[in-house]
Amino acid sequence: MRVFKFGGASVKDAAGIKNVYSVLQTAGYEDVLLVVSAMGKTTNALELVIKNYFDKSPELQSSVQEIKKYHNEILLDLFEDEKNEVFAAVNAQFAELEYFLAHNKSPNYNFVYDQIVSYGELISTTVLSHFMNFMGIKTQWLDVRNFVKTDSNYRDAEVDWELTQQNISKNVKRKILNITQGFLGSDENNFTTTLGREGSDYTAAIFAYCLNAESVTIWKDVPGVMNADPRYFENASLLNQISYREAIELAFYGATVIHPKTLQPLQKKEIPLYVKSFINPLLPGTSVSKGATLEPYMPCFIVKRNQLLLSLSSIDFSFIMEEHISEIFGLFHEYKLKVNLIQNSAISFSVCIEDKFDNFKDVNAILSKKFKVDFTEHVTLYTIRHFDEKAAHTVEENKTVILKQVSTETMQIITQES
């Protein structure tokens, strides 16, 4: 069996969905399982609904209407005839969502988040599945929550591999085009959970692992994994092949083309991963497999913007030692600050952190009681894998470098944005 993953960008409008159909015509769809994300930026739009819900904002209704309108326009474009049963099916899902908003009693933000945000994927797969049937491809729509079982750590749930394996082995039919949702799972009480933002790649890997799939293909708006994000680097070029290890390193340092959790299950069973263009499905794209040498061999660049560089030194000129470091990291963990680089010297301890949840103010107040705290906001962290002098120069040119760290294969540079 092959597993294909189509992300939000590939199904962002009616033309995108029609294109999925033509990709399937080219790539084949027998014995295939499709994992699909919410359309376009629907997850962000649902996050706004959640915010409005908790803020008791008068905008709540209009934020839901906006999402309905977006989907309805796509439906009209795809099916024209409003009598097609897909309209009722999608309306029923919106009705469920509205029922939840009207009747929910749980104050648990993360729980509520997962119950609401999941409609993005439930709806996109409903639309896609109906469209494939409409075009003459028979499909089986699977509710992923009956397959991927997780703990109840809402928004970042951990997969229960044993239960998930059992469900998938028993209940996924072969020889038919299966369509299911990325990103979602369910806990022991069958409440919806999610695997973390951008988690649909990971869902594809979970199914591939449990099905002993022949391969996974993630279809992207780029030709494959490139040596840099083409949005930021004009001359980014395609990597024809890379190893799992290289892909893990790139994802770890922040190359957003593959979700970091995706690689490990595939590596364990040596299931090849292909990253291919949904615009040109005949092009070979990137192949990720065991021990493959980076081909062509070249420096790879990863950029993380809007980082914060924090330097701590002790007030009494003593060294920052193990017990301090463990306390500092405990705080980062508690306040969900993500550490992307660490540098320790005799008198100061520096970390580059990402403050997604706007918690640094609180952490700063706590740290300032014990340490001398210096920080610079809005810095950029560049990582260069397989760096050379020219690559470092490309990054440093016309910028103020405020920290640099080098290991055998990787150079990291923090620059100040001007």
Binding site for ligand ADP (CB under 6 A): 7-10, 37, 198, 220-222, 225-226, 228-231, 255-257
Instruction: Provide CB contacts within 8 A for 279, sequence distance 6+.
Output: 19, 221
Q: How far is the CB of 225 from ligand ADP (least distance, A)?
A: 5
Neighbours of 49 (CB within 10 A): 23
Residue 38 contact among Mg ion, ligand ADP, ligand ASP, none, beta carbon within 5 to 8 Å by kind: ligand ASP
* One character per residue 199-238, x = contact with ligand ASP (rule: CB under 6 A): xx--------------------------------------
List residues binding Mg ion (CB under 5 A): 7, 198
Q: How far is the CB of 8 from Mg ion (least distance, A)?
A: 5
Task: Classify residue 347 by its DSSP letter.
Answer: S
Stretch that binds ligand ASP, among 164-172, 194-202, 247-255, 354-362 (CB under 6 A): 194-202
Neighbours of 331 (CB within 10 A): 14
Q: How far is the CB of 80 from ligand ADP (least distance, A)?
A: 27
Instruction: Provide CB contacts within 8 A for 271, sequence distance 6+.
Output: 208, 209, 212, 213, 214, 215, 216, 265
Q: Which of 126, 159, 164, 165 is nearest to 143 (CA)?
A: 126
Task: Identify which of residues 7 and 185 has a Cβ nearer to Mg ion in the complex.
Answer: 7
Stretch that binds ligand ASP, among 35-43, 86-94, 211-219, 250-258 (CB under 6 A): 35-43
Q: How far is the CB of 177 from ligand ADP (least distance, A)?
A: 19
Look up residue 305 and give its two tokens: 């913007």
Task: Identify which of residues 53 and 183 has a Cβ nearer to ligand ASP in the complex.
Answer: 183
- If one asks whether residue 285 binds ligand ASP (CB under 6 A), the answer comes out as no
- If one asks whether residue 74 binds ligand ASP (CB under 6 A), the answer comes out as no
Residue 197 contact among Mg ion, ligand ADP, ligand ASP, none, beta carbon within 5 to 8 Å by kind: ligand ASP
- If one asks whether residue 8 binds ligand ASP (CB under 6 A), the answer comes out as yes
Please list every residue from 94 through 153 that binds ligand ASP, using CB under 6 A.
120
Q: How many angstroms from the chain centroid is the CA of residue 394?
A: 28
Exposed/middle/buried for 15, CB within 10 Å: 0-12, 13-18, 19+?
A: exposed
- If one asks whether residue 383 binds ligand ASP (CB under 6 A), the answer comes out as no
# binding residues, ligand ASP (CB under 6 A): 12
Neighbours of 307 (CB within 10 A): 23
Q: How far is the CB of 11 from ligand ADP (least distance, A)?
A: 8
Q: How far is the CB of 383 from Mg ion (least distance, A)?
A: 20
**Residue 273 near residue 216 (C-beta atoms within 8 A):** yes
- If one asks whether residue 18 binds ligand ASP (CB under 6 A), the answer comes out as no
- If one asks whether residue 277 binds ligand ASP (CB under 6 A), the answer comes out as no
Side by side, the strands of the sheet bearing 300-314 are: 338-344, 349-354, 300-314, 371-385, 410-416, 400-406
As a whole number of angstroms, the distance between CA 333 and CA 59 comes to 33
Q: How far is the CB of 195 from ligand ASP (least distance, A)?
A: 8
Residue 299 contact among ligand ADP, ligand ASP, Mg ion, none, beta carbon within 5 to 8 Å by kind: none
Q: Which of 237, 223, 228, 224 is nearest to 384 (CA)?
A: 228
Match 């263009």 to its residue by tokens.
277
Instruction: Provide CB contacts within 8 A for 108, sequence distance 6+.
Output: 154
- If one asks whether residue 7 binds ligand ASP (CB under 6 A), the answer comes out as yes
- Alpha carbon distance, N-terminus to C-terminus of the chain: 50
The residues that touch ligand ASP, with contacts defined as CB under 6 A, are 7-8, 37-38, 43, 120, 182-183, 197-200
